Amino acid sequence: MRLMGKATLVTGAGHGIGRGIARRFGREGAEVLVTDLDLEAAERVAGEIRDAGGMGHAHRLDVRVPEQAAAAVEAAVSRFGRLDAAVNNAGRTSRMPFLEMTLEFWDELVRLNLTGVFVCAQAEARQMARQGFGRIVNVSSNSGIRGGRGRAAYGATKAGIINLTQSMAIELADHGILVNTLAPGPTRTERTTAATPGAAFENQMSLKRFGEPDEMGAAAAFLCSDDCTFTTGHVLSVDGGFTATGVMEG
């Protein structure tokens, strides 16, 4: 129960990793504002949190719109009285070969994956600065650390999140706000159809399996808890060893 009584907000929490984080926060004792562009999905996850004995509330949020981000933070403060921690998870994984990539595809991913994190983090940080404390976790990916085929746009957005986090950590430290990045590896979600991550991933992984959304939630819970007091600007890779791997042969 590391987050007992903490007021939290999770974006993109209606599905996948965001759902896992929101549910884990609920089990850790947090009050959770479950936000998603899909309000029905957000309401379903909030209901799952309540059914498990936690405190979950749904709110529709398009992370690309500053007014909606500010309204989501205001909704959290109105309901909880403050905002202790926020996880900016909303985004999309899309691939396209570099030579075929259109500007429209590039702009769409940048707007959602990177600008969306900036928009929400700024709204959250403004509230936390008024309080004099807070925790922000921005969700990147191992694709933001290492390159991959078809991932020029996606990887660039996730790499951008890492540098954005580092810059935020420097500027917000004086306000009592810690900012870190969670970098998931291959994770099993509702859309996963394969039994294993596949050879392209497994050949680079010490733990040859998918991560689970709850494992991402556990890592995010640490970064948002009172156990995390001297860690800021850090990238926590939860990826089965993928980004750490060099030569695998003995």
| Predicted pLDDT at 198 | 74
pLDDT for residue 226 is more than 70: yes
- Give residue limits of the domains in the chain: 7-237
Place of tokens 């007014």: 67
pLDDT for residue 80 is more than 70: yes
**Residue 149 token pair:** 């085929």
Please name every residue paired with 57 in a beta bridge, in sequence order, or none if there are none: 33
> Is 185 part of the annotated catalytic residue set?
no
Please give the C-alpha separations between residue 166 and each of 88, 146, 158, 202, in angstroms, as whole numbers.
Answer: 15, 18, 13, 29
Confidence of residue 170 (pLDDT cuts 50, 70, 90): very high
Mean pLDDT of 82-103: 96
Distance between the two ends of the chain, CA-based, in angstroms? 41
- Percentage above 90 pLDDT, the chain: 80
Mean pLDDT of 196-201: 76
Contacts of 160 (CB under 8 A, 6+ apart): 110, 114, 144
Q: Which helix (H) or strand (E) holds 16?
A: helix 16-27
Mean pLDDT of 121-142: 97
| Predicted pLDDT at 250 | 57
Lowest mean pLDDT among 106-115, 120-129, 198-207: 198-207
Q: Tell me 211's DSSP state.
A: B
Q: How far apart are CA 27 and CA 162, in angstroms?
A: 28
Q: How far apart are CA 56 and CA 109, in angstroms?
A: 29
Contacts of 175 (CB under 8 A, 6+ apart): 125, 128, 129, 132, 133, 134
- The DSSP-derived string for 99-122 is GG--HHHHHHHIIIIIIHHHHHHH
| Predicted pLDDT at 246 | 63
pLDDT for residue 202 is more than 90: no
Q: Which helix (H) or strand (E) holds 238?
A: strand 235-238
Q: Which entry of 154, 210, 222, 242 is annotated as an active-site residue?
A: 154
Mean pLDDT of 217-238: 97
Class of domain 7-237: alpha beta
